[in-house]
Amino acid sequence: MRQITASQAAALLQDEDTLLIGGSGGGHAVPDALLAAVGERFRATGMPRRITAVHPVGLGDGKARGAGHLAQKGLLRRVASGTFVNSPGIARLALDEEIEAYTLPQGALSQLMREMAAGRAGLLTKIGLHTFVDPRLNGGRQSARAAEDLVELVQFQGEEYLFYKPYQVNVAFLRGSAADEDGNISMEHEAVTLEMLSMAQATRRMGGIVVVQVKRIVPAGSIHPKMVKVPGILVDAVVVDPEQWQTYGTQDSAAYSGHLRVALEDVPRLPPGPRRIVARRGAMELFEGAICNLGSGISTGIANVAAEEGILRRICLTNEQGNIGGAPASGNEAGAAMSPDAQVDQPYQFDFYDGGGLDLAFLSFAEFDSSGNVNVSRFGGRIVGPGGFINISQGAGTVVFGGTLTAGAAPKAVERVEQVTFSGPYARSRGQRVLYVTERAVFRLAESGPELIEIAPDADVEADVIGQMGFRPRVSPALRRMDTGLFAEGLMGLAARLPARPPRPALDRFATAQAAE
């Protein structure tokens, strides 16, 4: 194994190279010391120029770290990522037409790493159909300079699919916890494991250079073979950063890494207000044993409500980065989870999601429209990107979109969304159950679009709901008032009335076998 400095790693990048970067969100397994060295090198020498950066998950602290180190005019030619929300500097370059900017589904990019590792043609999937990622709409572009088609619409066995093209990688910057003297990499102290192995395999297959940032070097043979996440045969060099934090906000949490079990009931109670109302109404969709995903924003409050109501251990919360069980973190720590039951690599988590494994997805909306489309990826002069939203929303059996009905005086229910991140018509064609939950009204996706089915106890249909929208929804003939408990201070009593899990046909075998005994 070769040990080098971060500056030496940065010097490996040449003009026009493609850099593959591991990590997630707010510093979770992000090789920040390596990215910082690239930014410093460019400021000092003007090199490298016009590189392509590819990272499935957005990277950054919401300021200048992570991908933000690369947000310098001339350094980047193209960025392909799940989201820019963590790196506003990258979003600014895209808005200023300084880079070719693409935001693609996080799960598709994650799974594409495996396809690249195996030398396959690319990723064939239905994820992204009829959203802005579909070439018939936008092809995932977030800047006019982004001219190349990174996604193609194809016909396979009489059905429509999207084909995500692979990338030719020159250098990969990855991160682990420790490296032994043979270059074997462990990730036992990381909050996520992601697709580090696939990235290393893909880069090696293409003849590229794999550099891994770690916190320490340990003797050869001291890492248990089952703890090796990236074998040394795939690693060209290691950079040691003894000050490496687990995330940008947490130096070391044993609960994040799974080494310590904490009381999940300690999740703080949400203060009174719209977020609490929306989260409580969403929680009413839970049932015994429900497997769920909580998106960012207002929907993270589902975990707080479930803890307060004493039902957090009776459901299973997951996140797309690979955590199963426990209590998903929120804010800039999103991606981690407190005391998860299992941590799987991100591509496999998305396999589960894409295959319909989620019973419920609780996602936030920036805006929704008269067709039932939802936008979270570009709005109000901001480029955000979809992150895992498209995979999650397309794969879940039931999707509950949460948000306030207005943003100040501006309606969030609009005639037509600026960018389609979720297609209402496509969801209807597949029989998906969809709700739109706000603090004063609840809608369901019907044949004609969102249908008003519930209003707040003291709300007026016209003045407080329809008058605050950019379109007139159909009003259900069975319109009812929202549960008054949503607006009260005390518990709602969800623990006593949590519905049983709907029957699964496959489980009939167990019932039959037990009856036979």
Residue-wise pLDDT tens digits, 337-383: 999 999 999 999 999 999 999 999 999 999 999 999 999 999 999 99
Q: Is the pLDDT of residue 75 over 70?
A: yes
Q: Is the pLDDT of residue 265 over 80?
A: no
Q: Is the pLDDT of residue 330 over 90?
A: no
pLDDT over 90 percentage in the chain: 92
Q: Is the pLDDT of residue 335 over 70?
A: yes
Q: Which range has the worst mean pLDDT, 59-73, 235-249, 319-333, 387-401?
A: 319-333
Q: Is the pLDDT of residue 76 over 90?
A: yes
How confident is the model over 52-57, as a mean pLDDT? Answer: 98
How confident is the model over 37-55, as a mean pLDDT? Answer: 98
The predicted-structure confidence for 488-512, as pLDDT tens digits, reads as follows 999 999 999 999 998 877 766 766 7
pTM over 0.85? The answer is yes
Q: 366-380 burial, b for 16+ CB within 10 Å, e for fewer? A: bbbbbbbbbbbbbbe
The per-residue pLDDT for 313 is 93
Q: Which residues are 53's β-sheet partners?
A: 19, 79
How confident is the model over 455-481, as a mean pLDDT? Answer: 98
| Identity of the amino acid at 410 | A
The per-residue pLDDT for 131 is 98
Nearest to 364 by CA among 333, 334, 342, 340: 334
**Catalytic residue numbers, as ranges:** 320
Spatial separation of the C-alpha atoms in residues 480 and 465, rounded to whole Å: 14
Spatial separation of the C-alpha atoms in residues 447 and 84, rounded to whole Å: 34
Instruction: Decide the pairing of beta strands 178-180 and 171-175.
Output: unpaired
The domains located in the chain, with CATH, are 2-240 (3.40.1080.10), 260-487 (3.40.1080.10)
Q: 205-226 burial, b for 16+ CB within 10 Å, e for fewer? A: ebebbbbbbbbeeeeeeebeee
Spatial separation of the C-alpha atoms in residues 141 and 132, rounded to whole Å: 8
Spatial separation of the C-alpha atoms in residues 97 and 77, rounded to whole Å: 11
